[in-house]
């Protein structure tokens, strides 16, 4: 199993909130809705916040190789 690491920030203040690690299955395409649902599952207090999701460069390369 592979993992996707990403940072979550507050869109209003631009502050870093947390870093999460999500399991990644290469057989199924990953959607933004799945990532947002995962964030809300792990951090329920962020449900009513506007958030930003930032992927490090190495994670973008990983997704490009899987779904390219």
pLDDT at 3: 92
Count Cα neighbours of 56 within 13 Å in the Cβ-side half-sphere.
10
Does residue 64 register a pLDDT over 90?
Answer: no
At 25 the pLDDT is: 87
What pLDDT score was predicted for residue 51? 92
Mean pLDDT of the chain: 91
Torsion angle defined by CA atoms of residues 21, 28, 51 and 49, in that order, rounded to the nearest 10 degrees? -100
Q: Which domain holds residue 25?
A: 2-67
Domains in the chain, number: 1
* ∠ CA 31-6-29, rounded to 5°: 20
């Amino acid at each position: 199993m592979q993992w996707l690491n990403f940072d979550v920030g507050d869109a209003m203040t631009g502050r870093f909130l947390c870093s999460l690690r999500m399991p990644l299955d290469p057989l199924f395409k990953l959607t933004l809705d799945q990532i947002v649902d995962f964030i809300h599952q792990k951090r329920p207090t962020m449900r009513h916040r506007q958030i930003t999701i930032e992927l490090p460069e190495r994670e973008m390369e990983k997704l490009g190789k899987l779904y390219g």
